[in-house]
Chain A
Amino acid sequence: MKPVIEVENLVKKFGNFVANDSLTFSVFPGEIFGFLGANGAGKTTTIKILCGLSAPTSGKVSVAGYDVYRHSELIKKNIGYMSQKFSLYEDLSITENFQFYGGIYGLSRNEIRERTKALLNRLDFLKAQNEVLRNIPQGWKQKLAFSVAVMHQPKVVFLDEPTGGVDPITRRQFWELIYEQANNGTTIFVTTHYMDEAEYCGRVSIMVDGKIEALDSPEKLKNQFAVNSMNDVFVKLARAAK
């Protein structure tokens, strides 16, 4: 299978500071790829590069089949993005948010209407479609934000700590959404600080000081480090950090 994200010897420097130190990894279609690391390990830098927001200093990077140096505009059309901070527009209704983001990605009015209906139906939230977002609980907002991020049916969705500040039940439901999306062939590229969530991923990479120190399925990583949980794997690696 041809990888949907291909990174080879990616280096990103800010002056003398090396944020990403020759990263190499591939992510395949329909995979849930956990991108882990302590704060400041360089995760955000990598995501920005993969999203075409920032150019790498050197190395080969392609996303959804397009080169980041030459086709960052095409990449942008084929990816979705959601962060913990991203909570849609508070002063717009759910429908208006869907309309706006659908419009940005060039969907037709009919497509927007149909997909909004389907996505809200899936969330069992159709009745609240004209509610202004300000009045909706945080957990729901996160699920709505995810739905918006996949509305244009991107090949890859980047989730930057999507479940921050969300209760365990909603997190569970959120991961169900992620699984469904992955089963439909969408690649999920997710960062998180919750190690139980890392267990849900197909493969996990752990970044320490700008380098990828471990990359494998959670099972194999636990075996490799001879521990019982991803939490212990993470702590073992992160302790070694500068």
Chain B
Amino acid sequence: MKGFVVKEFLHIFRDHRTMLILFGMPIAQVLLFGFAITNEINHASIAVFDKARDSKSLELQQKLTASGYFDINMQLENTKSIEKAFQSGKVKEIVVIPPQFEKTLELDQPTTIQLINDASDPNTANLISSYTSAILMDFAASINPQANSLPVTTETTMLYNPELKGVFMFVPGTITILLMLVSAMMTSISIAREKEMGTMEVLLISPLKPYQIILGKVLPYVVFSFVNAMVILILAYSIFEMPVNGSLLLLLAESLLFILMALAMGLFISTVSNSQQTAMLLSMFALMLPTILLSGFVFPVENMPLALQWLSHLMPSKWFIIIVKSIMLKGLGIAYLWQETLIILLMAFIFIILSIKKFEVRLKLK
């Protein structure tokens, strides 16, 4: 048993590709998701069509730039140039300030500032326009602090992630994907490799019991997956200042449970595939894609058609993402998460039973 685990570690350490996937992936993914794929706006370039050109309109422009979210790259002179500005691709939004801006404000009359967005990229357009509106609202309030009623009164509070940091959304998803990848894909491939090489036959003929073979194969990956989860958490904490508001212990325990679930899935895949390629493809299509697409990691589940929403309930990763987010951001305890935990536990159980059944059937028939 000990020798088996040692051997498995040797396999992993000798294989540079496996090592790269095991340790390069988490770091690359977290950094990628954290820095590159972001929902935040940072120095978005916009243009201003200032029809007023008075002190208030200038003040407004300064406020926009001072926020750090926007760079005013262009001053437009006439309506025609609006279209040109967008076509040049240099600006994402145009703020149109009406004539006699200052005067209207002094007279306490309502005024409208027009925001024109390049909606060919709808998500970004939405984000930029809401950021701008927020700044404009702020501006309106600062001009007339005593006024009982502002022209517009919306107040949005962003709970749990007040700065709307993208990385807070991505870290739970990334942990999930990586645990899935390392646990399920790696184990299924490594078991399939023994079958392909013919060494599995020898193991089965040896006095080792099937459960010992499975444990020996799986144990190293449990360790690696766990280390991976830690690395991601440490990266998230140290580079992106992502907090762990809830209990770290609970988080680790839940991760372990999810790892077990993923391993059980990997085992199941390995029982139905006889070559490394099959195992890899099955893991990719049956595990990775649904994890990415249906778990709510990239696309919000609420916006999916009903059928897909139902399907997403079957994704263990969906529940795990909920758990991770709740513990890390909301600081919730097990009292609030027992349902999700139970679902993952149940899934792990089902897959373990299924793969043991499969494994035994193989033994009998072959």
How many angstroms between the C-alpha atoms of A228 and B265 in the bound complex?
Answer: 58
User: Contacts A76-B205, A81-B205, A86-B202 given: A91-B11 contact, CB under 8 Å?
Assistant: yes
How far, in angstroms, from A51 to B207 measured CA to CA in the complex? 10
Does any Cβ of A come within 8 Å of B156's Cβ?
Answer: no
What is the total number of residues of chain A having a CB less than 8 Å from a CB of chain B? 33
Least Cβ–Cβ distance between B216 and chain A, in angstroms: 10
A54 at interface by CB-CB < 8 Å: yes
A104 contacts B10, C-beta separation under 8 Å:
no
In the assembled complex, B75 has its CB within 8 A of some CB on chain A: no
Known contacts A79-B205, A91-B10: does B198 contact A100 (CB below 8 Å)? Answer: no
Q: Are A55 and B364 in contact (CB under 8 A)?
A: yes
Which residues of chain B are near A104, meaning CB under 8 Å?
3-4, 203, 206-208
B-side interface residues, number (CB < 8 Å): 25
Q: Which residues from chain B contact A102 at a C-beta distance below 8 Å? A: 3
Q: Does B147 contact A (CB under 8 A)?
A: no
B365, CB-defined interface residue at 8 Å: yes
Q: How far is the CA of A25 from the CA of B126 in the complex (A)?
A: 82
Query: Cα distance A86–B10 when bound, in Å?
Result: 19
B43 within 8 A of A: no
Quick check: is B281 within 8 A (CB to CB) of the other chain?
A: no
Also in contact, A103 and B366, with CB within 8 A (given A86-B199, A91-B15, A96-B10)? no
CB distance from B253 to the nearest CB of A (A): 32
In chain A, positions 92-133 with a C-beta closer than 8 Å to chain B are 92, 96, 99-106, 132
Residues of chain A at the chain B interface (Cβ within 8 Å): 14, 48, 51-55, 73, 76-77, 79, 81-83, 85-92, 96, 99-106, 132, 158
Is the CB of B53 closer than 8 A to any CB of chain A? no
A96, B207: Cβ atoms closer than 8 Å: no
Q: Which residue of A lies closest to B11 (CB)?
A: A91
- Are the C-beta atoms of B206 and A85 separated by less than 8 Å? no
Contacts of A52 in B (CB 8 A): 205
Per the bound structure, the CA–CA distance linking A55 and B201 in Å amounts to 16
| Residues of B276-306 contacting chain A, CB below 8 A | none
B220 to chain A: closest CB distance in Å? 14
CB distance from B154 to the nearest CB of A (A): 62
